[in-house]
A and B are shown apart, each in its own frame.
Chain A
Amino acid sequence: MTQQQRPAVKPVPIPTPETDFYWEKCQQHELWVRKCNDCNQAYFYPRDICPDCFSRNTAWVQCSGKGTLHTFGIVVRPPHRGWAEDVPFVVAMVDLEEGCRMPTNLVEVEADLNNPGEHIRVGMLVEVVWEDRTDKVSLPMFKPA
């Protein structure tokens, strides 16, 4: 038997009771966030009790999938063996239309280190796309809208 090198795998999240619903919806390519019924604030990441007013009266809302780019970085040195063959790539934070900010990757865009602003601008409109990382786990990512 020849020994085969296993392909490097990017990290895969493991849900908890507070996030099961989020990841189930992601698997269906739907983005949902938590919203507090008392202070009316949407928030990310999902947790049962509102991190602003500490109310238990919270709900899930489905997102439009649209937002604006809050900031980004172009990763050149792979931070993990899962990205060894996959640099440069764009880490980003997106301000969702619903009013909260989420970490993500910006994809389907040129990451030009000599002139990043040519293709990527803070404040640009973005929309959700999906990466099926495994059969069970899909990650929301964003591309220029």
Chain B
Amino acid sequence: MPNISRAAAIVGVAEADEMGYLENRKSDLQLSTEASYNALEDAGLKKSDVDGIFAAGNTLGLAEHMGIHPKFTDSTSVGGSSFVIHAGHAFAAIAAGYCEVALVTHGVAGHSRRFFGGAGEGGAPDSPGGQFETPYGFIGAPINYAMACARYMHEFGEERTREAMSEVTVSTRKWAALNPRALIHDPKAEIPLTMSFDDYHNSRWVCWPFHLLDCCLVTDAGGAYIITTPERARDLKKPPVWILGAGEGHDHGMISQMPSLTSLIARETGPKAFQMAGVTHHDFDLAMIYDSFTYTVMLTIESLGFCGRGEADDFLRGQRTAPGGDFPMNTSGGGLSYTHPGAYGIFLIIEAVRQLRDECGERQVPDCKLTFCHGTGGSLSSGGTAVLALD
């Protein structure tokens, strides 16, 4: 495979105008379009410059809503990781000359839909999931991920697992306290700005072994980013953030088909992306890891190779992923405490780019020059890794 490291750069990132618990009937399309408008502003590009569109599913509807007629389109929809995978796809498409200005966009009124649309009912009753999982109540991510976590507890010890989970959620809340756009700053949400270890252990059960504070938020949110060629990137408003390497993959769809409940496809996507980028685990200044659940993070750290299997507890101990720690992670406050509309991957990229550009104010990681994003989607099914850096 050719090494296309630095063949494209991210030049604009943005969120929707407002996010959180909106309850104002804004549609997915509107949230996506707002974020796209804002990302183009951030880049100093015009809508007419966009010739490639990347979204999880509805590229037809999104491009129509914004009046874009793309010459390259990618609707890859493999869960919340999709928007990290899109970075790799746009990177390859630009390197190959299929498009010059790629818009990656996502918006979901995830919180409001709970009230307007009612609860989900599972998959089609004649699909494999609808026949063999849904009838048993395997419905929704918390239940599916909880069973994987329970297996990890069996293999590596319940207490060690619980400690690692608590380190993740407590440290992530500390970062969210420093991000004004995090949901916890909205009084409507009634979420405390701080979280103690006791708060975690005492939070109610959703599905054992998951407490409420093991699970991500469900918000209304939109995000977008723009990728372009090296030539165009150098002439724009903000410093380009280069894509150094990317990897993607999946090894199952349904949770009951997962080859091992304690190992993610990140074991393949990470090394591939790091190798393309020519970097190793010790080089990173910041880790952006999809935190759908606390368990997702600890498993990702292991599968990417930052520590061995079953060692996440040792790796995470002592709040080293929190502000001031030596392994800054999920500085936006993550899906756990900042925002998570149903699919969160795009917000990993947005925060990584802002950190590299030194735009993060109180939560800025000093001298942040190299970072990676890793998204996990579906039922721990799909993974995408992207390595990002300044010049």
Contact = CB atoms under 8 A, between A and B. Distances in A.
B135 to A, nearest CB: 5
B132 interface: yes
A93 B154 CA distance: 14
Interface in B138-173: 138-140, 142-143, 146-148, 150-151, 154, 158
Interface residues of A, number: 41
Interface string A77-119: 1011101000011011100000001111100000001001100
A116 B140 CA distance: 22
Contact of A80 (B121, B128, B151): B121
A19 B131 contact: yes
A77 B120 CA distance: 13
B114 to A, nearest CB: 12
B150 A73 contact: yes
A74 interface: yes
A13 B136 CA distance: 10
B206 interface: yes
A135 to B, nearest CB: 15
A74 B208 CA distance: 5
Contact of A103 (B119, B133, B148, B208): B133
Contacts of A11: 121-122, 125, 130, 134-135
Contact of A76 (B138, B148, B206): B206
B261 interface: yes
A71 to B, nearest CB: 4
Interface of B: 119-122, 125-126, 128, 130-140, 142-143, 146-148, 150-151, 154, 158, 204-210, 254-257, 261
Interface of A: 10-16, 19, 23, 44-45, 70-77, 79-81, 83, 88-89, 91-93, 101-105, 113, 116-117, 122-123, 133, 139, 141
30 contacts: A11-B125, A11-B135, A12-B125, A13-B132, A13-B134, A44-B132, A45-B131, A71-B147, A71-B151, A72-B150, A73-B150, A73-B207, A73-B209, A74-B207, A75-B207, A76-B204, A76-B206, A77-B207, A79-B140, A80-B120, A81-B119, A83-B137, A91-B137, A92-B147, A103-B132, A103-B133, A116-B208, A122-B151, A122-B154, A139-B135
